[in-house]
Amino acid sequence: MLFLRALILLAGGALLGVAANAIRPEGLRVGSFESPTVCDESEAAGVSVEMEPSEVSKLCGSTGVVIADARSPKSFAEGHVADAVHLPCDAAGSVASQAISHLEEAKTVIVYGHDTDEARPVAASLRRRLHGVRIAVLRGGFPAWSAQGLACVSGPCDDCAIGGHK
Amino acid sequence: MKNALSLLLRLGLAIVLVWAGVAKWRDATAFAIDVSNYRLFPALAPYVAIMLPMCEIVVGLALIVIPSRNRWARAAALASALLMAMLTFAVAQVVARGINVSCGCFGGNSGPVTSLTVVRDLALLSGALLLLALLPRPSAKSPH
């Protein structure tokens, strides 16, 4: 009887979840949900796709391409890739939920940090959460970008952070 | 002493379960993606994403509101143990298979699954089983 009661509690919770999801405006559409497709085994293994600064500079301004800065807001304010958005993420590289929704319409997101290694966990976090978006890492990070004399700007982070990006 | 420990376990488990359930429920789509990334029956991910958070909330609330002498209190303890056993298995298989995945345990920013996640879930499972052992059994005169 004890086990049956426990199952009743769990089943009640499950049914409540289904019912609440059905009446929730932003509810999950179970029938049309698609798991993120893993097309590339190297990506599935957590290996980042890396792009040279010169390759990335050719994509600047292209439709659907977002360049994301994974460094601290302070570093971002001191200088960043032109048109890059600041990506709020924690020390483990997990990107804040509110930032994800702003990247969902992108076709390609290129992430950079102080170096390649700093951007890799952020790219991995994005790849797990953005379905159908190509995620790449800027090889060498921001130092490699600025060393090649490519366009960079400085300024307060608030104007460029994803949350306030127009 | 026994009653104090029982109360402490009930409160602790209830807070963790309700907190985890609400955090998952707030962004069910992100949680469904996290679940599918566990690569354990990915086709079931959307169903898990809508059912599991509410199961956690219901069981968590049951742990708080049901008096300890009520037979449903032990059922809530067992239900929390079953939930924790399932979650522990899910994170342990991720660690064993070396999959790099966002935990999703407490919503979007709960960090990656590591061996520490497994240890934390094992501790919660142990707490639930201890609570089940501490709660009084129904009296003999109760009907079957």
Q: A-contacting residues of B 82-121, CB under 8 Å?
A: 82-83, 100-102, 107-112
Q: How many CB pairs under 8 A join A and B?
A: 114
Residue A35 touches chain B, beta carbons under 8 Å: yes
CB B86 within 8 A of CB B51: no
Kind and range of the H or E run holding A109 = strand A108-112
Strands A85-86 vs A50-51: parallel, antiparallel or unpaired:
unpaired
Q: Tell me what pLDDT residue A42 has.
A: 43
Chain B residues close to A2, C-beta within 8 Å: 71, 74-75, 78
Q: Please indicate whether, in this complex, the C-beta atoms of B55 and A13 are within 8 angstroms of each other.
A: yes
Residue A37 burial (C-beta neighbours within 10 Å; 0-12, 13-18, 19+): exposed
Tokens of B91: 């994170």
pLDDT grade, residue A94 (50/70/90)?
low
CA gap B102, B99 in Å, rounded: 10
pLDDT above 90 (res B18): yes
Select the residue of B58, B109, B110 nearest A96 (Cβ to Cβ): B109
CA gap A119, A141 in Å, rounded: 8
Residue A32 touches chain B, beta carbons under 8 Å: no
Helices and strands in chain B, H and E counts: 5, 0
- Which residues does A79 contact at the CB level (< 8 Å), separation at least 6? A142, A146, A152, A153, A154
pLDDT above 50 (res B119): yes
Mutate one of A7, A28, A32, A104 to test the B interface: name it (highest B CB count within 10 A). Answer: A28
pLDDT grade, residue A96 (50/70/90)?
low
Residue B27 touches chain A, beta carbons under 8 Å: yes
pLDDT above 90 (res B24): yes
For B30, nearest residue in chain A (alpha carbons) = A129
Q: Please indicate whether, in this complex, the C-beta atoms of A13 and B50 are within 8 angstroms of each other.
A: no
ipTM of the complex: 0.90
Closest CA relative to residue B113, chosen from B98, B126, B128, B101: B101
Q: Tell me what pLDDT residue A93 has.
A: 52
Percent of chain B with pLDDT over 90: 61
Mean pLDDT computed over B21-49: 87
pLDDT grade, residue A129 (50/70/90)?
confident
One-letter amino acid of B2: K
B68 vs A104, higher pLDDT: B68
**Structural domain A41-164, CATH architecture:** 3-Layer(aba) Sandwich (3.40)
Percent of chain A with pLDDT over 70: 73
pLDDT above 70 (res B11): yes
Give the distance between the most distant pair of CA atoms in chain B: 53
A33 vs B143, higher pLDDT: A33
pLDDT grade, residue A97 (50/70/90)?
low
Mean pLDDT computed over B73-80: 96
Q: What are the contacts of B85-93 at 24+ separation with CB within 8 A?
A: B85/B125, B87/B121, B88/B118, B88/B121, B88/B122, B88/B125, B90/B38, B90/B40, B91/B117, B91/B118, B91/B121, B92/B118, B92/B121, B93/B38, B93/B40
For B41, nearest residue in chain A (alpha carbons) = A35
CB A21 within 8 A of CB B26: no
Select the residue of B27, B58, B109 nearest A12 (Cβ to Cβ): B58
pLDDT above 60 (res A145): yes
A155 vs B29, higher pLDDT: B29
Residue B16 touches chain A, beta carbons under 8 Å: no
pLDDT grade, residue B132 (50/70/90)?
very high
Q: Tell me what pLDDT residue A95 has.
A: 62
Tokens of A63: 């439709």
Mean pLDDT computed over A105-111: 85
Mutate one of A23, A30, A33 to test the B interface: name it (highest B CB count within 10 A). Answer: A33
Chain B: closest CA distance from residue A164 (Å): 20
Question: How do residues A25-63 score in pLDDT, each as one tens digit?
Answer: 878 887 777 665 444 444 444 445 788 888 888 777 777
Q: Tell me what pLDDT residue A41 has.
A: 41
Q: Would you list the domain boundaries of chain A?
A: 1-33, 41-164
Going by the DSSP 8-state scheme, the letter that residue A88 receives in this structure is -
Nearest 5°: phi and psi at B44? -90, -5
Tokens of B40: 């354990």
